[in-house]
Amino acid sequence: MKHIIGHKNPDTDTICSAIAYQNFLIKQNTEAQAFALGELNKETQFILDEFGVQAPKQISELPQGAEIILLDHNEEKQSIDNINDLDIVEIIDHHKIKLETDKPISIYIKPLGSSCSIIAEKYFNEVVEISQVIASILIAGIISDTLFFRSPTTTAIDKKLVEKLNEIAKISDLEKFSLEMFNAKSDLGDISTEKLIKLDYKIFNFDGDDYGIGVMETTNKNFALDKKDEILEKLKEIKKTDNLMGVFFVVIDILEEKSWTLCSGNEENELFTKLFKAEEQEGTLFVDKLVSRKKQIVPTFEKHFKQQ
């Protein structure tokens, strides 16, 4: 049995691609099950409810020796806790490669806007039938990861795939559907500050040191900016307790394509300002058109630390 694992702090792309890949493998007579490493976010829950799909089972560990497929990630720190006891048999991803393996495995990486795009391509290339529900959640994953084609990670292939998938999904107004998704994601109720920071949060190792980068993609930026002081306190606390060199929290306005960043300390503030030519705006670091952790933020940090 193949255990399909998305990344920690699961987002819509990781969950929808895992569910779709489970369906793909089962159709090819391979026993497979998708799992979630954590609670689903509100956007993902909205999508699964909308299309009547059951959420994957939540786990944090698997029995020793279990066969796993890593979806939408390949870095140990973003994966299942006991990854070193498990047997990675395949990786499907659209992020840069970081993982070392102790034997040859199947690796399928493409620089597309989402992992759902890669799974959709697999269905089309291998002529496996796609149901209306699977086509719908694949579209949702592509829209979510590309911010409905606004993110610089978007490729022409992602757009083509959504068009092709929607011949099956028949979502009548994709623009409206994307707004419903983004509004669901932005409706965070009485979430705690730590949960807010870690809603879409990843640890990166830059030149030997670990950094945390949380992003909040939203249509309601003031939800976070109004709590600026609490967030700044919490970032400092997370830096200490999680033993990090720095923590960044980037509030991204999906529709305006702008961002406001909060940092865990003065050095981090200075570094971020320098690297992204940020402008101080009411205690936040404002950058126009900075919307992608993967394509803009992480590569800029990596380049900086490599030059050191």
User: Which residues contact Mn ion by CB under 5 A?
Assistant: 13, 72, 115, 145
Least Å distance between CB 145 and Mn ion? 5
Q: Output the residue with the shortest Cβ distance to Mn ion.
A: 13
Calpha distance 288→259 (Å, rounded) = 6
Calpha distance 247→202 (Å, rounded) = 10
Q: In terms of CB distance, is 145 or 253 closer to Mn ion?
A: 145
Q: In terms of CB distance, is 74 or 220 closer to Mn ion?
A: 74
Least Å distance between CB 179 and Mn ion? 20
Calpha distance 87→89 (Å, rounded) = 6
| Type of residue at 273 | T
Q: In terms of CB distance, is 198 or 234 closer to Mn ion?
A: 198
Q: In terms of CB distance, is 115 or 269 closer to Mn ion?
A: 115
CB-CB contact of 79 with 73 (8 Å): yes
Closest CA relative to residue 303, chosen from 269, 263, 276, 280: 276
Least Å distance between CB 151 and Mn ion? 11
Q: In terms of CB distance, is 75 or 145 closer to Mn ion?
A: 145
Instruction: Please tell me the total number of residues recorded for the chain in this structure.
Output: 308
Least Å distance between CB 193 and Mn ion? 25
Please report the beta strands in 62-208, taking only residues with DSSP state E, as ranges in sequence order. Answer: 67-71, 87-93, 106-109, 201-206
How much is the CA Rg of the chain, to the nearest whole Å? 19
Q: In terms of CB distance, is 72 or 268 closer to Mn ion?
A: 72
Q: In this structure, what are the phi and psi dihedrals at residue 2, rounded to the nearest 5 degrees?
A: -95, 125
**Helix, strand or coil, per DSSP, at residue 66:** coil
